[in-house]
Structure formats: C-alpha cells, structure tokens
Structure 1
Amino acid sequence: MGFFIETVIGGLMSGMLYALVALGFVLIFKASGVFNFAQGAMVLVAALAMARLSEWIPQWLGIESMLLGNVLAFVVCAVFMWIIAVLIERFALRYLVNQEGTTLLMATIGISYFLDGIGQTLFGSSVYSIDVGMPKDPVFLFESMFEGGVLVSLEDLTAAAVAAVLVAVLAFFFQYTSVGRALRAVADDHQAAQSIGIPLNRIWVVVWTVAGLVALVAGIVWGSKYGVQFTLATAALRALPVVILGGLTSVPGAIIGGLIIGVGEKLSEVYLGPFVGGGIEIWFAYVLALVFLLFRPQGLFGEKIIDRV
C-alpha cells in the first residue's frame, strides 16, 4: 500500500509540472480564442533567460547573495517576457485581427520557431541549470502507517504549492477583475468586444504577458528539476493531452487534467508496463486524450460550443 501511495504522489507531482505548461495554452485560448502553439518555446526562452541571467547579474553587479540575484533575474526575465508579448502583438497579431483560427494557429507556429532561434542567439544552446533554492532532498512521510514510510520529493511539493497559488491567482484574475472580464469578452467575439470599446491590441498584450509569466514559472520549475535544454520546448507536446482532458477554456481544468494524466502515467507504467514490455508512460496521455476527443471533445471542464444558425 505504501508503494502505491508513493506512486500516486509521484504522479501528482509530475502532473503539476504538465499543468503549469498547459496553463499557458488555456490562458491564451480563454482570452483570445487562439491556440498558442508557441507556448513550449515561451517556456524554453523563459527558462533559458532565467538560467543565464541568474548567473550573469550577480557577476555584473558583484552580488554575493543568491536570493537577491535570483530575484533580480526573475524581475528582468518578467520584463523580457513582456517585451516579447509587445513584439508579438505589434508585428504579428495586430495584422491578424478577426482572421480565421487556422491563420492564427499558423502564426503561433511561426512565432515558436522565432522564439527558438532568438533564445539560442541570446542565451546559447548548451544545457544549463537553475538554482532558486528549491529543496532537493526527499523526505519520508507516514512512517507510522507504512513500513519504511512514503518517499516524497520536497522539490515536487514546492512546485505543487507554487502551481496551486498560481491557479488561484489566475482564477481570481479572470473572474473578478475588469481586465479578466474583458479578456473573456474578446475570446467570445473579437468584433463585438471592439464595438463596445475594448482595445483588442492592448488586451492581447496583457494576455500574452500573463502567459509569458506563467511560462517563466513553469520554466523555472522544470529547469530546476531537469535542467534547461532545447528539448524543453517539447514540454508543450506533453501538455497537449492535459489541455484536451481538462478543457481549453478552464484554468482549474488544466490542473485537474494534469493530475489525472500524471497519476495515470505512473500507475499504468508500474502496474501494466511489465505485462506489455514497458513504455506505457510515453503514450498513455495521448490515448486518453483521443478517447476524450471521441466522446467529450470539450474536455472535463471546457465549455460546450453550440452554433446556432
């Protein structure tokens, strides 16, 4: 029983990492109706920026405190992601207002390749590490209930706590702020939102900036755990089933979907893998996503779209 609980907890922690990346997809689609294929590249660029600037800034300013250096690096990275959002709106999205969804999707694919290139140009293409002081040592829990206890990573628990706080803040932002309501109005109908005075260009800068900050947090967590390398851009592919499962328009759905997929991957690999030669963890999420596309395409918490003619 202790091993089962340990496997479930490990799956939950992996699911939170998937969910952090999936949040970027949900944010942009929820606020603009655009499926952002560049989210993985945004995570990569944000992680590269944090990894390199956390090294460079203390050297430039002669700072010995790791905490202060990381805080300054985070602020600079946040500004950097805002600049990227402004450039994306100014040179791409501004000219695609009211275009078909396919056109906007292709634009985000182009943005993805651009971000990959600019990240390599500015920050290099080696493997880097991020050290923000997250605890690395594991702990044993429930030792009185199970022999040997349950092994849990403090780093994973910290990442889960960060993700939970982030989701709570984003849910409040979308539900209870005027900017959040404007974002939802833009997603429903671009032309109608413009007709009542909502500045579409400014709204897109806001949502891409917020998605950039989410990508920065996700990049820090992933980079701290696995290191920063260009394969990090493929994290977006691991997050796609999460978005399909939870729903493209639901912030809490991204978290629930990530947890379900994370736990499902671990349990299937541990308990079913030996019977089929392993490898279930690689394709489990995509098979589950396919099932949902067949029977519930809007996901668990997504809004069902009804077209009236």
Structure 2
Amino acid sequence: MEFFFEVLLGGLLAGVMYSLVAIGFVLIYKASGVFNFAQGSMVLFAALTFVSLLERGIPFWLTFAITLLTMVVLAWAIERFMLRKLVNRPPITLFMATLGLSYMIEGLAQAVWGAQVHGLELGISDEPLELGGMLLSQFDIFAAGVAGVLVIFLSWLFNKTRTGISLRAVADDQLAALAVGIKLQRIWLIVWAVAGFVGLVAGLLWGARLGVQFSLSLVVLKALPVLIIGGFTSIGGAIVGGLIIGASEKLAEVFIGPIIGGGIENWFPYVLALVFLLVRPAGIFGERAIERV
C-alpha cells in the first residue's frame, strides 16, 4: 500500500507540470473562445530565450525580466498584427491563425537563437526526498508549489479585479463588451501577456527537466487530455485535469503496463480523455454551451 501511495503522489506531482501548460490554453480560450495552438511554441520561445541569455552571462533575475518583457512584446505584436484583424471572425479562422502563428514563432526562435539543444539548471535538485517512508521528487514538489502560487495569483487577477470582470465579459459576448466601452484590444493584450508569463514559467520547468529543444513545443499534446478532462474555461479545472492525468498514467504504467506491455503512459491519457468526451464533453469544470435555435 505504501508503494501505491508513492506512485500516486509522484503522479500527482508530475501532473502539475501538465497543468502549467494547460493554464496558458485556458487563459486564451476564456478571452477569445479559440484554442491557441501556438501555446507550445510560446513555451519553447520563452525557454529558448531565457537559456540563451543565461548562457551569455546575464544574471538569472535580469534574464527572467528580459525574457518576460520579450513575451509581453510578443503578445503586443500578436494582438496588433493578428487578433485586431480577426475580431468577430469564426473560431475556425482564429484557430488556423494560431496554427500558423505556431510555426512563425518556432521559425523566429530558430532564426534568433539557433536549433541546438540547451541544458537548463534552475538549482533545484531532482533527487528523491523521503517523506513518511515515500520517495518523492524534489523537483516535482517545487513545481507543485510554483503551480499553486500561480493559480492563486491568476484566480485573484481574473475574479477580483476589473480586468478579470472585463475578461469574463469579453468571453461571454465580444460585441456586447465593446458596446459597454470595454477595449477588446487591451483585454487581448493583457491575456496574451499573462499567457506568455505562464508559458515562461512552464518553459523553465519543462526545459529544466527535458532540456531546451524544439521538441519542447510538443508538450502541448499532453495538455490536450488535461483540458478535455478539466474543461477549457477553468483554471482550477486545468489543475484538476493535470492531477488526474498525472496520477492515472503513472498508476497505469506501474500496475497495468507489466500486464499489457510498456509504453502505456504515452497513450493512456488520451483513452481517459476519450471516455470523458463520451460522458461529460464539457469537462469536469467546463461550461456547457447553450445555443438558441
């Protein structure tokens, strides 16, 4: 039983890493109602910018500030030259725009920083830590703490501030929000900037674990089942979905994998997401769409 709980807690902590990527998707979806396929490229671009500056001898916190400013500038450029042109267009149009944006960001990252693989050391040991007779990753515990602080901050920002109220208004009805004086461009800029910040945090944590390389952008594929289970409109749902995916894939790998073969953790989350789509398409915390006909 102790081994079971060790695997379960290890999976829960690992699932937090998926949640960090999923939160970026939720922010954009809440503001525009579109799935931002470029979030993975933003994670890659942030991590690649950070590690490239750090390797040039720039201090850690100054590097973090410069990278964050770069992500804000990137958010401004996206809003100014893409989103502003696509107001009130069909969601499929915005989705295709973010798909093209994904390749543009990856190409920009390669042109500026090159395509070589970088190691990233954050000073957080990945050695196991014994707690109550169980061995847990120190890095996963640190990542869970970062995610907790991030969720508290985002919950305050979007539930207790005027910006958050405006964001919910834009998410409900863009034309009505414009009619009452809400500046759609300003809201989109703020949301994409915050998504860039979340991408930076996720990029640093994932880059420290996997190395900063172009395959880092594929981490978005693991965020898909997280969003399907938790819901596309809930930050808390992204966390819960990540915990469910992290725990289930680790338990399946350890207890079911030896029976049916290895590699189960690569596809089990998608099977679980498919089950949720059949039972609860909107996800656990998702809002069901109601349309008048």
Shorter-chain TM-score: what band?
over 0.9
What is the alpha-carbon distance in structure 1 between the residues aligned to residue 115 and residue 21 of structure 2?
A: 21
Cα deviation code 1:162-191 (max 9, x no counterpart): 001101110111101000111111111111
Q: Deviations over 1:89-140 (max 9, x none)?
A: 1111111000000000000001000011011111111111222222333211
Question: d(CA) in 1 for partners of 2:136 and 2:260?
Answer: 28
Match of 1:107 in 2: 97
Does the residue aligned with 2:287 lie in a helix, a strand or coil?
Answer: coil
Does the 8 Å contact 1:269/1:279 carry over to 2? yes
Structure 1's unaligned 5+ residue stretches are: 59-68, 143-148
Q: Which amino acid aligns with 2:229?
A: L
Is residue 248 from structure 1 mapped to residue 232 from structure 2 by the alignment?
Answer: yes
Give me the whole-angstrom Cα distance separating, in 1, the residues matched to 2:233 and 2:239: 12
Q: Give the aligned partner of residue 141 of structure 2.
A: 157
Between the aligned partners of 2:57 and 2:77, the Cα distance in structure 1 is 24
Match of 1:11 in 2: 11
For residues 64-103 of structure 1, what are the structure 2 equivalents within 5 Å? 69-103=59-93
CA distance in 2, matches of 1:217, 1:235: 14
Distance 2:127 2:14 in 1: 17
Q: Which residue number corresponds to residue 146 of structure 1?
A: none
Are positions 1:35 and 2:19 aligned together?
A: no
SS of aligned partner of 2:124 = coil
1:191 aligns with 2:181: no
2:202 is aligned to 218
**TM-score under structure 2 length normalisation:** 0.98
Counterpart residue number, 2:46: 46
Could you tell me how far apart the structure 1 residues matched to 2:119 and 2:181 are? 45
Q: Match of 1:56, SS? A: coil
The residue that corresponds to 1:145 in the other structure is none
One-letter amino acid of the counterpart of residue 20, structure 1: L
Offset from partner CA, 1:191-235 (integer Å, 9 cap, x none): 111111111111111100000000000001111122111100000
Structure-1 separation of matches of 2:73 and 2:285: 32
Q: What root-mean-square deviation, in Å, do the aligned CA atoms of Structure 1 and Structure 2 show?
A: 1.0
Which has the higher mean CA deviation after the structures are superposed, 218-227 or 256-265? 218-227
| Residue 293, structure 1, aligned to residue 282, structure 2 | no
Amino acid corresponding to residue 85 of structure 1 in structure 2: A
In the superposition, relative to structure 1, how do residues 290 and 188 fare at CA in structure 2: closer, same or farther (>3 Å)? same
In the alignment, the residues of structure 2 paired with residue 192 and residue 218 of structure 1 have an alpha-carbon distance, to the nearest angstrom, of 34
Which ranges of structure 2 fall in alignment gaps of 5 or more residues? Answer: none
- How far did 1:285 drift? 0.8
| SS of 1:51 mapped into structure 2 | helix
Tell me the CA shift for residue 57 of structure 1: 4.3
Give the residue type in structure 2 aligned to 1:86.
W
What's the secondary structure of 1:139's corresponding residue? strand
Q: 1:50, 1:130 within 8 Å by CA — same for their partners in 2?
A: no
Q: How far apart in 2 are the matches of 1:217 and 1:227?
A: 14
For the residue of structure 2 that corresponds to 1:152, the secondary structure is strand
Whether the 8 Å CA contact 1:57–1:72 is kept in 2: the answer is: no
Match of 2:108 among 106, 115, 118: 118
What is the distance in 1 between the residues matched to 2:15 and 2:103? Answer: 26
Which residue of the other structure, out of 101, 119, 130, is the alignment partner of 2:120? 130
- State the match for 2:212 in structure 1: 228
Identity among equivalent pairs (%): 55
Measured in 1, the distance between the counterparts of 2:116 and 2:268 equals 30
Distance in 1 between the 2:156 and 2:46 partners?
24
